[in-house]
A = this chain, B = another copy of it.
Amino acid sequence: MHIAILTFDGFNELDSFIASVLLNRMRSKGWKASITCPSAQVTSMNGVTIQAEESLDFAAGADAVLIGSGVKTRDIARDKTLLGQIRLDPRRQLIGAQCSGTLLLAKLGLIGDCPACTDLTTKPWVIEAGVRVLEQPFHAEGTIATAGGCLASPYLAAWVLAKLGSEEDARAALHYVAPVGEKESYVAHAMAAIGQ
C-alpha cells in the first residue's frame, strides 16, 4: 500500500507526522506512507524545514491520500493551479483530511452533502464552503473521512489501517503510539472513535 500524506508550506507537524508514524508501522508488510509536497522542501508552521519524500503527482496513484493541515490552507484553497495538481479519485482511493485539510477536501468537491470534522480555527471557513461541521473528532462515509484536532490524527490513520489492512493492524499501531500504562484504554477509545 502506498499512502500520500499531503504536506504544504506552513504545515502543522502533528497533522502530517502522527499519520506517517502510525501508517509506517506497516512497512514490514510493504506499506509506505510518504510526506508528499508541492515543492522539494516545505517549512512547518513552527519553522522546521523538511524535504519532501514525494511530489504531488504521487497522490494520484496512491491507495490512500491524507490531506494534512497548516496555517496557509486558506491561501492554498484559493490557488486553482495548486488545487488542480491534486488529482484524487474516491472510487479507487481512501481519502482523508485532517483539520484545515477538510477545507481543501471541500474545495476539491469531495465532501458533497456529507457532514465533516475540522479544527476549531478552520470551522468558519469550512462552513462558508457549504459543509456542515460536526462537533466530534472523526467522521467517515464510504471512502472519505475527516478528523478535527491534532490528536484526532491517530483516528484517521487507524481508519486507513482498518480499511486497507485489518482491525488488528489498526489496534497494533495505536498500541505502539499510546502512552505506557494507558495502552489498552487508548486503543479501545480510538477504535470506538472510528466506529470499530
Distance of A14 Cα from B174 Cα, bound (Å): 13
**Interface stretch of the complex, out of A17-25, A57-65, A106-114, A161-169:** A17-25
Number of interface residues of A (CB under 8 A): 45
Q: Which residues of B contact A137 (CB under 8 A)?
A: 179-182
With contacts A14-B21, A21-B12, A151-B154 taken as known, whether A180 is within 8 angstroms of B46 at the C-beta atoms is no
Rounded to whole Å, the gap between the CB of A182 and the closest CB of chain B is 6
Rounded to whole Å, the gap between the CB of A174 and the closest CB of chain B is 9
Distance of A179 Cα from B15 Cα, bound (Å): 12
- A6 interfacial by beta-carbon distance below 8 Å: no
> B46–A20 contact, CB under 8 A?
yes
- A68 interfacial by beta-carbon distance below 8 Å: no
- A184 interfacial by beta-carbon distance below 8 Å: no
Task: Return the CB mask of A97-131 against B: 1 if under 8 Å, else 0.
Answer: 00000000000000000000111100000000000
Rounded to whole Å, the gap between the CB of A108 and the closest CB of chain B is 21
- A155 interfacial by beta-carbon distance below 8 Å: yes
> B179–A152 contact, CB under 8 A?
yes
Q: Which residues of B contact A118 (CB under 8 A)?
A: 180
Task: Return the CB mask of A143-154 against B: 1 if under 8 Å, else 0.
Answer: 000011111101
Which 4 residue pairs are nearest across A and B when measured between Cβ atoms? A137-B179, A148-B180, A152-B179, A149-B179
